[in-house]
């Protein structure tokens, strides 16, 4: 049974997540300039691998607030981020790290556009990635507070795919350690050592920086990707 928490004010929330509550309005054009570095101690907090280790860790059914999230909590945030120009659309310009291959696609700006795997009508299906806490619904804010209390995270990106064929990252590694929590529906992560883990809603996985992993979606999903250090 999840206990009901008294929702904090917007001002209190911004104090907890000062770097997430305002996104640049031209993020779509500046996305490729983003960088992440867990070793910049002047700008960031302590290295998360010191607390959580340098190996993949999984927690089953440990993030109960995330299990309560519905599409009604996600869709308005996507709309608001699109209007604010802070949302990112994964595109075929990065097909070397995508699940669904796209042939004959090239672009000078691979991270600007709403595209994914081409269907028989020549259209693409996007995966959308949020980049600010400015427009989160109260249930999603509850999730971020849960993750912060348990793991001390500071940043959130919500990955939303509409179909199994949606364009997503394939095998890749990240320059920052991440905590991924399944919210709506399942997602699988496989690793170079042959291991794989299916996350059900409420499950979480810690992936240290530099560890190669490959996600797989099974249909519509909303996945919360947290990290401790992130720089635009």
| 160 part of a folded domain | yes
**pLDDT score at 54:** 93
Q: What is the pLDDT of residue 169?
A: 80
- Enclosing H/E stretch for 76: helix 71-84
* Predicted confidence (pLDDT) at residue 153 exceeds the cutoff of 80: yes
pLDDT given for residue 120 in this prediction: 58
Any domain includes 209: yes
Structure confidence by residue, pLDDT tens digits, 155-202 = 899 999 998 888 888 788 888 899 999 999 999 999 999 999 999 999
Of 11 and 140, the one with more pLDDT: 140
Instruction: Read off the CATH number of the domain in which 124 is found.
Output: 2.60.120.10
Q: 3-class DSSP state for residue 85?
A: coil
Structural domain range at position 146? 33-227
Give the mean model confidence (pLDDT) for residues 31-46: 42
Asked whether the whole model's pTM tops 0.75, one would answer yes
Identify whether 20 is part of a domain. no
Q: How far apart are CA 198 and CA 205, in angstroms?
A: 10
pLDDT 10s digits, 110-138: 332 333 345 555 566 778 999 888 889 99
What are the structure tokens assigned to 159, written together? Answer: 């990955």
Looking at the domain assignment, is residue 4 inside a domain? no
Q: Does residue 28 form part of some domain?
A: no
- 12 in a domain, yes or no? no
- Joined together, the tokens standing for residue 161 give 């795919």
Quickly state the pLDDT bin for 16 (edges 50, 70, 90): confident
Total domains present in the chain = 1
Give the CA dihedral 83, 116, 182, 207, nearest 10 degrees.
-110
Stretch among 78-92, 96-110, 148-162 having the lowest mean pLDDT = 96-110
Task: Please indicate, yes or no, if residue 51 is contained in any of the structural domains.
Answer: yes
Residue 19 confidence class, pLDDT cut points 50, 70, 90: low
Q: Is residue 13 one of the residues assigned to a domain?
A: no
H or E element in which residue 10 lies: helix 10-16
């Amino acid at each position: 049974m999840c206990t009901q928490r008294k929702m904090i004010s917007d001002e209190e929330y911004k104090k907890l997540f000062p770097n997430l509550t305002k996104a640049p309005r031209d993020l779509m054009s500046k996305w490729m300039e983003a960088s992440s570095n867990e070793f910049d101690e002047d700008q960031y907090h302590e290295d998360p691998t010191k607390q959580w280790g340098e190996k993949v860790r999984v927690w089953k059914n440990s993030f109960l607030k995330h299990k309560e999230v519905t599409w009604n909590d996600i869709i308005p945030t996507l709309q608001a981020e699109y209007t604010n120009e802070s949302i990112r659309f994964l595109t075929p310009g990065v097909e070397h790290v995508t699940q669904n291959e796209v042939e004959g696609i090239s672009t000078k700006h691979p991270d600007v556009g709403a595209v994914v795997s081409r269907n028989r009508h020549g259209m693409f299906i996007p995966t959308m990635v949020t980049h600010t806490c400015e427009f989160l619904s109260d249930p999603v804010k509850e999730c971020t507070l849960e993750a912060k209390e348990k793991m001390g995270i500071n940043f959130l990106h919500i990955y939303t795919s509409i179909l199994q064929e949606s364009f997503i990252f394939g095998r890749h590694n990240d320059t920052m350690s991440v905590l991924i929590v399944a919210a709506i529906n399942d997602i699988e992560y496989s690793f170079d050592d042959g291991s794989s883990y299916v996350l059900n809603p409420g499950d979480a996985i810690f992936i240290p920086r530099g560890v190669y992993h490959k996600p797989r979606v099974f249909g519509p999903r909303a996945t919360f990707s947290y990290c401790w250090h992130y720089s635009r």
